[in-house]
Structure 1
């Protein structure tokens, strides 16, 4: 039976080993931009939320330049319910009429965004809350499908404001609401916004925090996680039906960002405490990493 002193020594040795393993990654990524799309269960669980935000602040403290992009679907649904508006979906897209768009903007920009900024500040970082409208960061256009209302796509990105903020040591927190040239607001998928921002910023990494372990060879079996793959394999997995359902747009988002110059895209399980740090700063990682070609693996 292990004694208490031996247990303490072993735990201390583990912490030292983890820190030592992290050092080359910290050195490699210092000064590089990391775009983190934050949502899912990690956003609904209060204790997980605090851990995720502390991890984001940790990234900034060791010299990386994190940019956070967030959605907020469950909270939007909650507020629609309070206001007597029935949430509607069509082909996986939230039907966003004028009244729903007002609620989406109120919740994402006014509540979720400012809560995350407050958590960053309390954890010792400097959070700055933004949406696509601020500094014309994102110009939107209609998504194009009939009957979905003010659902948008990214038309263009202007990174000037974000680059000023990250260089000054701030952590931008961007909600996925943007406007078109006429000023009409649109609700844009947060994964899409994160991918396009990562590409425009020349990010080292795009990290999508999800409610799954990553890309699975068999989605019933978490032990079949595919830890590393390239664009070609990712496309093949979609064609073969291995990547299906809600994972298809996430993988496509990653592929698109890689094709535009992002060095690596990651899909990780936000339900695991400190998943962000485990993926970036350990040899084994914790989710699926997609790179442009097999030579980068």
Structure 2
């Protein structure tokens, strides 16, 4: 009797362990691209967020991320939200491929909601950027470069929403999406003259915040939206001054300032991504600089990496 009870308990324990192991985390992050604009062996910036195990949210789509998606063997059949931090090529270059893959990934009509920054009409040496809705129209609209996609494999509807990224944008996070407990908030970022947006995803007491490309003088909004976030994905491109070219500090945040923001916001885990070769070469000094202020876990991203908040 004892042996039977013992083995029965052992089998029950194994079954329960298997069930527990198969239960998906409410949120999971897959790094599709951890690099920048250079051809350095990393894909450009891009991430997939899984909600209850289902790939639902695409955050940026830099060059190379489409291949990384295939390597991860993730289906796009349930992808319904795309978050664009800004419209630089190294964050959006693969977008047409993702939308075509979405069109052929399932049956029936496809509807995807795209969020991204408002536009900017440059003056003098400043560049001009379309709004996100205009950008999507130029790609997929009736007269767009890929207009054929709207009924290529299934009826495809892409709804684009512009997030105020102007100098006068609100200084408090705005809820831009809410459905079945999944909430996405946004606030304007600051990436030189490039309209940029910071995003936070919340679901079942877990959260992931994406800084996008942001420079140190514009990080106050990031500090606001990232309060007590489970995981902060911070783009790390430059060394502490004067280790990188001066112009880069008008676009990106150095490690010491990253540590300050992570500490002040109560971030639980920090993922450094959008990594440049100089960061790869000096990871130890970069981490040491961050740890002057932030004592939580620090992870350097790799293409294909999986993280739970």
After TM superposition, the score normalised by the length of structure 2 is 0.35
Give the structure with the higher percent strand. Answer: 2
Of structures 1 and 2, the one with the larger relative CO (CA 8 A, separation 6+) is 1
